[in-house]
Structure 1
Amino acid sequence: MAAQRLSKLQRRIMRHLFAQYQRTQGGIAMGHLELAQTLGHDKGNLSHSLKTLEARGWVEVGRTPGGQADYVDLTPEGRKLACKIEQGCD
Protein backbone atom coordinates (compact mmCIF):
# COMPACT_ATOMS: atom_id res chain seq x y z
CA MET A 1 0.00 0.00 0.00
CA ALA A 2 1.31 3.42 -0.87
CA ALA A 3 1.92 5.74 2.06
CA GLN A 4 -0.99 8.09 2.58
CA ARG A 5 -0.60 11.38 4.39
CA LEU A 6 -2.61 12.17 7.45
CA SER A 7 -3.50 15.64 8.68
CA LYS A 8 -2.62 16.66 12.24
CA LEU A 9 -6.25 16.17 13.24
CA GLN A 10 -6.36 12.71 11.67
CA ARG A 11 -3.19 11.74 13.53
CA ARG A 12 -4.70 13.00 16.80
CA ILE A 13 -7.88 11.02 16.12
CA MET A 14 -5.91 7.84 15.44
CA ARG A 15 -3.72 8.29 18.53
CA HIS A 16 -6.72 9.01 20.75
CA LEU A 17 -8.74 6.06 19.46
CA PHE A 18 -5.70 3.79 19.90
CA ALA A 19 -5.28 4.98 23.50
CA GLN A 20 -9.00 4.29 24.08
CA TYR A 21 -8.60 0.84 22.53
CA GLN A 22 -5.66 0.05 24.81
CA ARG A 23 -7.42 1.43 27.93
CA THR A 24 -10.56 -0.62 27.38
CA GLN A 25 -8.85 -3.60 25.74
CA GLY A 26 -11.03 -3.08 22.69
CA GLY A 27 -14.25 -3.26 24.67
CA ILE A 28 -15.72 0.21 24.25
CA ALA A 29 -15.95 2.36 21.14
CA MET A 30 -15.76 6.12 21.60
CA GLY A 31 -18.78 8.33 21.05
CA HIS A 32 -18.54 10.83 18.19
CA LEU A 33 -19.54 13.78 20.39
CA GLU A 34 -17.17 12.63 23.14
CA LEU A 35 -14.30 12.47 20.64
CA ALA A 36 -15.08 15.97 19.35
CA GLN A 37 -15.16 17.38 22.88
CA THR A 38 -11.98 15.57 23.93
CA LEU A 39 -10.02 16.79 20.92
CA GLY A 40 -11.47 20.30 21.14
CA HIS A 41 -12.76 20.36 17.55
CA ASP A 42 -16.22 21.02 16.21
CA LYS A 43 -18.16 18.02 14.95
CA GLY A 44 -18.07 19.27 11.33
CA ASN A 45 -14.28 19.23 11.04
CA LEU A 46 -14.12 15.97 12.90
CA SER A 47 -16.76 14.38 10.68
CA HIS A 48 -14.84 15.31 7.53
CA SER A 49 -11.64 13.74 8.88
CA LEU A 50 -13.51 10.65 10.06
CA LYS A 51 -15.07 10.17 6.61
CA THR A 52 -11.60 10.18 5.09
CA LEU A 53 -10.28 7.70 7.67
CA GLU A 54 -13.38 5.53 7.17
CA ALA A 55 -12.95 5.55 3.37
CA ARG A 56 -9.36 4.35 3.84
CA GLY A 57 -10.60 1.51 6.04
CA TRP A 58 -8.94 2.67 9.26
CA VAL A 59 -11.99 3.57 11.35
CA GLU A 60 -15.55 2.35 11.61
CA VAL A 61 -18.21 4.98 12.18
CA GLY A 62 -21.42 3.60 13.64
CA ARG A 63 -24.48 5.55 12.60
CA THR A 64 -27.92 6.15 14.04
CA PRO A 65 -30.97 5.13 11.98
CA GLY A 66 -31.08 8.78 10.87
CA GLY A 67 -27.54 8.55 9.48
CA GLN A 68 -25.74 10.64 12.10
CA ALA A 69 -22.40 9.46 13.47
CA ASP A 70 -22.90 7.72 16.81
CA TYR A 71 -19.63 6.01 17.68
CA VAL A 72 -16.14 5.64 16.27
CA ASP A 73 -13.82 2.65 16.52
CA LEU A 74 -10.56 1.56 14.91
CA THR A 75 -10.56 -1.29 12.42
CA PRO A 76 -7.78 -3.92 12.65
CA GLU A 77 -5.89 -2.04 9.91
CA GLY A 78 -6.48 1.21 11.76
CA ARG A 79 -5.01 -0.28 14.94
CA LYS A 80 -1.87 -1.26 13.03
CA LEU A 81 -1.52 2.24 11.62
CA ALA A 82 -2.25 3.90 14.97
CA CYS A 83 0.35 1.70 16.64
CA LYS A 84 2.93 2.85 14.08
CA ILE A 85 1.96 6.50 14.64
CA GLU A 86 1.99 6.19 18.42
CA GLN A 87 4.83 3.82 19.16
CA GLY A 88 6.74 3.06 16.00
CA CYS A 89 5.44 -0.53 15.89
CA ASP A 90 5.83 -2.73 12.82
Structure 2
Amino acid sequence: MRSRVIVLDPFSGASGDMFIGSLLGLGADEKLVKEAMESAADVTVSISKAKKGLLLAIKVEVVQHSKTRQTYTRMVEQIESAGLSQHVELDVLG
Protein backbone atom coordinates (compact mmCIF):
# COMPACT_ATOMS: atom_id res chain seq x y z
CA MET A 1 0.00 0.00 0.00
CA ARG A 2 1.29 3.44 -0.94
CA SER A 3 1.27 6.12 1.76
CA ARG A 4 0.24 9.67 1.01
CA VAL A 5 0.93 12.61 3.26
CA ILE A 6 -0.62 16.05 3.48
CA VAL A 7 1.53 18.71 5.08
CA LEU A 8 -0.10 21.93 6.30
CA ASP A 9 1.88 24.80 7.73
CA PRO A 10 -0.73 26.73 9.72
CA PHE A 11 1.84 29.37 10.68
CA SER A 12 1.86 30.77 7.17
CA GLY A 13 -1.64 29.55 6.28
CA ALA A 14 -2.94 27.62 3.30
CA SER A 15 -4.93 29.04 0.41
CA GLY A 16 -8.02 27.23 -0.79
CA ASP A 17 -6.50 26.20 -4.12
CA MET A 18 -3.43 24.76 -2.38
CA PHE A 19 -5.57 22.84 0.10
CA ILE A 20 -7.82 21.43 -2.65
CA GLY A 21 -4.72 20.43 -4.63
CA SER A 22 -3.47 18.54 -1.59
CA LEU A 23 -6.79 16.72 -1.21
CA LEU A 24 -6.73 15.78 -4.90
CA GLY A 25 -3.22 14.46 -4.40
CA LEU A 26 -4.57 12.25 -1.64
CA GLY A 27 -7.11 10.74 -4.00
CA ALA A 28 -10.19 12.97 -4.05
CA ASP A 29 -12.19 12.57 -7.27
CA GLU A 30 -10.98 15.33 -9.62
CA LYS A 31 -14.14 15.41 -11.74
CA LEU A 32 -16.41 15.52 -8.69
CA VAL A 33 -14.42 18.32 -7.03
CA LYS A 34 -14.33 20.39 -10.24
CA GLU A 35 -18.07 19.95 -10.87
CA ALA A 36 -18.91 20.83 -7.25
CA MET A 37 -16.82 24.01 -7.34
CA GLU A 38 -18.19 25.14 -10.70
CA SER A 39 -21.80 24.46 -9.68
CA ALA A 40 -21.40 26.41 -6.43
CA ALA A 41 -20.12 29.64 -7.99
CA ASP A 42 -19.60 31.41 -11.30
CA VAL A 43 -16.07 30.05 -11.75
CA THR A 44 -14.01 27.92 -14.10
CA VAL A 45 -11.67 25.44 -12.44
CA SER A 46 -8.60 23.95 -14.11
CA ILE A 47 -6.54 21.20 -12.53
CA SER A 48 -3.05 20.21 -13.66
CA LYS A 49 0.16 18.67 -12.38
CA ALA A 50 2.98 21.03 -11.47
CA LYS A 51 6.64 20.26 -10.80
CA LYS A 52 9.15 22.57 -9.20
CA GLY A 53 12.54 21.04 -8.59
CA LEU A 54 11.91 17.68 -6.96
CA LEU A 55 8.43 18.62 -5.75
CA LEU A 56 5.37 17.38 -7.60
CA ALA A 57 2.00 18.95 -6.81
CA ILE A 58 -1.48 19.36 -8.18
CA LYS A 59 -2.21 22.91 -9.26
CA VAL A 60 -5.78 24.16 -8.98
CA GLU A 61 -6.62 27.41 -10.75
CA VAL A 62 -9.96 29.09 -10.14
CA VAL A 63 -11.10 31.89 -12.44
CA GLN A 64 -14.00 33.93 -11.10
CA HIS A 65 -16.23 35.30 -13.85
CA SER A 66 -18.52 37.48 -11.76
CA LYS A 67 -16.93 40.47 -10.05
CA THR A 68 -19.98 41.00 -7.85
CA ARG A 69 -19.30 40.78 -4.13
CA GLN A 70 -21.11 37.92 -2.44
CA THR A 71 -23.29 38.38 0.62
CA TYR A 72 -23.45 35.76 3.35
CA THR A 73 -27.08 35.05 2.44
CA ARG A 74 -26.14 34.44 -1.21
CA MET A 75 -23.29 32.12 -0.22
CA VAL A 76 -25.66 30.08 1.95
CA GLU A 77 -28.09 29.84 -0.99
CA GLN A 78 -25.29 28.62 -3.26
CA ILE A 79 -24.21 25.99 -0.74
CA GLU A 80 -27.79 24.80 -0.29
CA SER A 81 -28.31 24.52 -4.07
CA ALA A 82 -24.96 22.79 -4.77
CA GLY A 83 -26.39 19.29 -4.41
CA LEU A 84 -24.19 18.39 -1.45
CA SER A 85 -25.17 15.58 0.89
CA GLN A 86 -27.07 16.67 3.98
CA HIS A 87 -24.12 15.63 6.14
CA VAL A 88 -21.68 17.86 4.21
CA GLU A 89 -24.13 20.76 4.13
CA LEU A 90 -24.54 20.55 7.92
CA ASP A 91 -20.75 20.51 8.36
CA VAL A 92 -20.42 23.63 6.21
CA LEU A 93 -23.36 25.63 7.54
CA GLY A 94 -23.52 24.32 11.10
- TM-score, normalization: structure 2? 0.31
Q: Which has the higher relative contact order, 1 or 2, with Cα contacts under 8 A spaced 6 or more apart?
A: 1
Higher share of residues assigned helix: 1
Higher share of residues assigned strand: 2
Which structure has the greater CA radius of gyration? 2
